[in-house]
Amino acid sequence: MAVIKTIGVLTSGGDAPGMNAALRAVTRSAIFNGLRVKAIYRGFKGLITGEIAEFKTQNVSNIIQQGGTVIKTARCQEFHTPEGRKLAYDRLQEEEIDALIVIGGDGTLTGARIFASEFDYPIIGLPGTIDNDIYGTDSTIGYDTALNTILDAVDKIRDTASSHDRLFFIEVMGRDAGFLALNGAIASGAEAAIIPEITTEFDQLEELIKFGFRKSKNSSIVLVAESDITGGAMHYADRVKNEYPGYDVRVVILGHVQRGGSPTAYDRILASRLGNAAVDAIIDGQRNIMMGIDDDQVVAVPFSKAIKNDKPLDRELLKVLRNLSI
């Protein structure tokens, strides 16, 4: 195995609060261990185009509290092709980068796994996504911050819902995962959450009405996970207007506000721990793994497991939400 002298680091896919904390941890841990660090701007796209700069300790000063990613992120269709990945590999060789740490979600880890297998190249992944949908880690970098952003928004919306006796459908992110919607509903005291994990099992709107979730309340809030499976908040609002015209319905789509903002203490600590562990893993000769957190312990998860397996949702939380929404 070749001696590792220089580590490359990039952020890819959707931005998530805490990515900068992870970048800081990777950079400083690598330098502490006598390694050079090269930051790759705009994800895999920047790897192909050569937007690469060496990072020193001062490059990551005063960024731990910042949202987004200071080295930018971008989608890259070219990296989906063998020709594009070959250009990326040639750039790594040209820059004398011996190993790569990638920070991103499912798509980022999938691309990293393909690239690593094609070129027998050492890559370590960090789970950076607000969706919390990566298998093998209790939490992903950015999830806790997004959850708190949702909580703050719902608290404000409830003031209006109560004042006007309205039913609000609030759409939150999560792709095809309901972690943000379900836990956001519990934390904010919402009456219900509509999530993709159970949409195909029964009609969630009929269940809400059948259980009389507004019998003892003048206003109600329902969190809906954005997804082609659920149809989103507008779908359910239209159904209520048609099927239950007695309700005064409003829709709020939180959108990209959930991605931004200063990361919470939890996300900063998680990102710092995982970034430091990623450098240690490279030094130890590990490759093709994602660093995650399990029962507050840092763990190494093979790319194959992190990508192929669906992260299970704790169904006990559905019971908690139902019991407390009366």
Please tell me the distance from the alpha carbon of residue 1 to that of residue 112, in angstroms, as a whole number: 19
- What pLDDT, in 10s, does the model give residues 20-66? 999 999 999 999 999 999 999 999 999 999 999 999 999 999 999 99
pLDDT given for residue 217 in this prediction: 56
Residues of the chain with CATH 3.40.50.450: 6-142+263-308
- Tell me the mean pLDDT in the region 298-323: 93
Residue (of 229, 228, 233) closest to 170 by Cα position: 233
Check: CB of residue 146 under 8 Å from CB of residue 17.
yes
Query: Under CATH, to which class is 144-259 assigned?
Result: alpha beta
The yes-or-no answer on residue 131 being catalytic is: yes
CATH of 6-142+263-308, one of 1.10.287.110, 3.40.50.11900, 3.40.50.450, 3.40.50.410: 3.40.50.450
- What pLDDT, in 10s, does the model give residues 88-123? 999 999 999 999 999 999 999 999 999 999 999 999
Residues of the chain with CATH 3.40.50.460: 144-259
Query: Which of 15, 106, 131, 133 is the catalytic position?
Result: 131
Tokens of 64: 């731990």
Check: CB of residue 139 under 8 Å from CB of residue 192.
no
Average of per-residue pLDDT values in the chain = 93
Hey, is 36 helix, strand or coil?
Answer: strand
- What pLDDT, in 10s, does the model give residues 283-300? 999 999 999 999 999 999
Total residues belonging to the chain = 326
pLDDT given for residue 200 in this prediction: 58
Residue (of 27, 4, 34, 2) closest to 103 by Cα position: 27
Tokens of 275: 């970034």
Query: 10 Å Cβ neighbour count for 322?
Result: 16
- Asked if the model's pLDDT at residue 191 lies above 90, the reply is no
- What pLDDT, in 10s, does the model give residues 149-184? 999 999 999 998 888 888 899 999 998 899 999 999
